Structure 1
Amino acid sequence: MRSLPEAKSMLEAAGTLRRLWVAPPAGHRFETVAERTGRQAEAMAACPDPDARPLVDAALAARDELLGSVPSEGGGLLLHGTFRQSKVLAAERVPWLAVGPDPVVGEAAFDLARLVRDRVEDLIASPSGAAVTRRRVKRLAESLDVDPERLRGWTLFRAVESGVRALRVGRDQDAELLLEFAGWV
């Protein structure tokens, strides 16, 4: 999917997600968004970088707010978990096939949040990257009937979490890109 122009790839990605999201089976044992992000939040809270602290605090507050309210579109879907353009391949039986899931049960905005930051290197290099990011949140939320503020909140949390994790493992350049992106959200 990454071989398509950005606008077309986002449209196709949204259609692929729409087909993926289903109710989990009764008695499922999939991890929930609250459980997964709980572990991530603990690791984020321990971030020693003072420059990242304001973003970490904002991301943790966003998570708390999101988990403290029920999304209007429902919060019990089986999600891909790591959906992004590089996880979608051309296929024969359907136009696009999502691969490499890390299933989690939660609201659609959580899954969609990773897609918002797709091609982050291109966004950062663009003089209008911040505006493109805000438009992307709006368009993806509209196309999939997701509350744009919930999508913005999960996008912030997931970008900061990835940035802090990159810092922790010494990938400073990746961390810088992700945290700059998070500042735009």
Structure 2
Amino acid sequence: MAFEPPRRLVRALGEARRNGADGVDAWLDELPGLVEEAVALRELTVERVQAPGGRSSLVLLVRQFDQTPAVLKLAPPRARPESERAALGHWDGRGAVRLLNPGDTPGVLLLERLHPDLSVRSLPEAKALLEAAGVLRRLWVEPPDGDGHLFETVAERTGRQAEAMRASAEADRQVAPLVDAALAAREELLAASPEARLLHGTFRQSKVLAGERMPWLAVGPDPVVGECAFDLARLVRDRVEDLIAQPSGAATTRRRVKRLAESLDVDQERLRGWTLFRAVESGVRALRVGRPQDAELLLEFAGWL
């Protein structure tokens, strides 16, 4: 089929290339052929490419041979699609979109159709946080038994991120104090970590879509195994641009940390620490890939913590 990948995806993959990711250009070049093969093999009818779509995968709205609506998702290896497949299979529709092809072609996921243009972010802020937190609670389950699962641990993922953060701090001394604080928080948090759960890994309001069998379901996990506060930390800074614009943004952020921690039985100080680490990591990464405005917002937010 003839199509143009969404500009958001192309731009994000370009950022990944600048951040050292390999194979990005090759996957984009192969994408039309991969789509054609995936559609033909599953006897799908393509309705449209979902735009703006995600930053790590191509999403197509399709119909199966019996006209049941579905979503076809293709992702490069760097997006860890097989880890996503394993997590969705483990959740089996509880709190997350249902996987329709548990043992299919690597890098290709066939998913139940939700309402792709209606996320929990469309709700007023307080209601959106409440609904998102309810979804997150259902996802926090014990990981599969044994050590043979595909999931990174929080320690492993943040370890890789910490190395890049140190390099950024050496190149730009202005961010060094925040990086130092974030790395110190990580060391303290990992020294005594609570019980590990399977986490979404990249949870935020835009990752929670309206569904038919349940009001709200999570999509697009980058799963990781670790403590729940790590997962909740990304939700704390949702709508960061609105927080920064408020005269009382710092106080609102502290209240949000307290409210979310209490609503999900998470230690408030651990949530604050992971929120700091994740905001600084995202901020310095935004600087590395040439998004200075995003970096400024994230680092100002981190300074409030």
User: Could you state the TM-score of these two structures normalised by the residue count of structure 2?
Assistant: 0.59
* 2:243 is aligned with 1:120: no
Q: What letter matches 1:9 in structure 2? A: A
From 107, 114, 125, the counterpart of 1:6: 125
Aligned partners of 1:25, 1:176: CA distance in 2, in Å? 39
- Kept in 1: contact 2:178–2:303 (CA 8 A): yes
Q: How does 1:143-154 map to 2 (within 5 A)?
A: 143-154=263-274
Aligned partners of 2:150, 2:218: CA distance in 1, in Å? 21
Q: CA deviation at 1:70?
A: 2.6
Question: Gaps (5+ residues) in structure 2?
Answer: 1-119
Instruction: Give the corresponding residue for 1:57.
Output: 180
Instruction: Give the corresponding residue for 1:183.
Output: 303
Q: CA deviation at 1:95?
A: 1.0
Aligned partners of 1:70, 1:53: CA distance in 2, in Å? 26
Question: Gaps (5+ residues) in structure 1?
Answer: none
Instruction: Give the corresponding residue for 1:70.
Output: 193
Name the larger-Rg structure.
2
Indicate the SS of the match to 2:198.
strand
Aligned partners of 2:290, 2:126: CA distance in 1, in Å? 33
Instruction: Give the corresponding residue for 2:135.
Output: 16
Q: How many equivalent pairs are there?
A: 182
Structure 1 runs (4+) greater than 3 angstroms displaced: none
Instruction: Give the corresponding residue for 1:44.
Output: 165
Percent identity between the aligned chains? 84
From 26, 44, 53, the counterpart of 2:145: 26
Instruction: Give the corresponding residue for 2:32.
Output: none
Between Structure 1 and Structure 2, the one with more strand by share is: 2
Q: CA deviation at 1:29?
A: 2.6
Q: CA deviation at 1:170?
A: 1.1
Between Structure 1 and Structure 2, the one with more helix by share is: 1
* 2:281 is aligned with 1:161: yes
Q: What letter matches 1:117 in structure 2? A: R
Aligned partners of 1:58, 1:69: CA distance in 2, in Å? 18
What is the alpha-carbon root mean square deviation over aligned residues? 0.7
Structure number with the bigger relative contact order (C-alpha 8 A, sep ≥ 6) is: 1
Aligned partners of 1:138, 1:171: CA distance in 2, in Å? 30
Aligned partners of 2:134, 2:183: CA distance in 1, in Å? 30
Per-residue CA deviations over 1:133-173 (Å, capped at 9, x if unaligned) read 00000000000000000000000000000000001011111
